[in-house]
């Protein structure tokens, strides 16, 4: 896919990956980037990056807000669902139920709402793309982030479903499965992390190269390869990472 002249929408554009995606899309010659976030103040600064950036408020958990966004941005070719939430809680943890509900509301229901609203728009473009940022730990549960993993597993299944539904309409649906990235979401978690710029570069390159699934960093690539070889062994290894105090 030639990104030159395309119009992209990035949700969660105020986050580390989101901001890096906006910058990388601009570098690759898109005509416009709609940078969306729950708070307009969080993305206003992005408008000063380049005249091609248009920032606006989008709460993906608010049905009226999503509907208005689709009505006002009917020229979109590429939708990148990047908005997400991680409460860093294990499933049987003290706030496991609350965390699970919050994460599902954003990571599954919010993403689904945006897909539903923008699917007819990107289909009309003729070469439309919907790309959803899932997570490698949506493919295998990491207990310390158990509720988040479950929501991302639901997002992975969502992606497979809409991929099938939109294929006859010529819409390419892309799954993005990063490992740990050095953002606010992983602050305080001691582990090797990719930079947002590295991940964004790999994502945009994958979109340009018509990839169906993108594993944008060494950790996600390694885990994916091992999941293909021996998924039960990976599950056992991740299961051994029991949260402290559980």
Catalytic site residue from 148, 181, 206, 215: 148
Residue closest to 157 by CA, chosen among 118, 191, 112: 112
34 is known as an active-site residue: no
Residue closest to 146 by CA, chosen among 198, 212, 99: 99
Q: Annotate 71-92 with three-state secondary structure.
A: HHCCCCCEEEECCCCCCCCCCC
Other CB atoms closer than 10 Å to residue 188's CB: what's the count? 6
C-beta of residue 137 within 8 angstroms of C-beta of residue 145: yes
SS3 content of the chain, % helix, strand, coil (to 5): 50, 15, 35
Cα end-to-end distance, the chain, whole Å: 47
Strand ranges, E, within the chain? 7-10, 32-37, 53-57, 78-81, 129-133, 172-176, 213-214
Q: Looking at the annotation, which residues are catalytic?
A: 148
């Amino acid at each position: 896919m030639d990104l030159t002249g395309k119009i992209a929408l990035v949700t969660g554009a105020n986050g580390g990956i989101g901001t890096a995606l906006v910058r990388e899309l601009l570098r690759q010659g898109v005509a416009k980037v709609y940078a969306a976030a729950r708070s307009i103040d969080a993305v206003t600064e992005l408008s000063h990056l380049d005249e091609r950036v248009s920032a606006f408020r989008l709460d993906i958990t608010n049905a009226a807000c999503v509907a208005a966004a689709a009505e006002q941005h009917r020229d979109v070719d590429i939708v990148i669902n990047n908005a997400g939430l991680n409460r860093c809680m294990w499933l049987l943890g003290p706030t496991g139920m609350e965390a699970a509900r919050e994460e599902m509301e954003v990571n599954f229901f919010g993403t689904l709402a945006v897909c539903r609203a923008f699917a007819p728009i990107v289909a009309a473009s003729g070469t439309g793309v919907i790309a959803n940022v899932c997570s490698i730990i949506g493919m295998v549960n990491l207990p310390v982030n158990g509720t988040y993993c479950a929501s991302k597993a639901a997002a992975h299944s969502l992606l497979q479903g809409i991929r099938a539904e939109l294929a006859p309409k010529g819409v390419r649906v892309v799954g993005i499965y990063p490992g740990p990235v050095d953002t606010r979401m992983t602050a305080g978690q001691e582990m090797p992390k990719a930079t947002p710029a590295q991940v964004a570069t790999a994502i945009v390159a994958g979109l340009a190269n018509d990839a169906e699934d993108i594993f944008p960093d060494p950790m996600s690539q390694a885990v994916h390869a091992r999941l293909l070889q021996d998924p039960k062994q990976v599950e056992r290894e991740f299961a051994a990472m029991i949260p402290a105090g559980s």
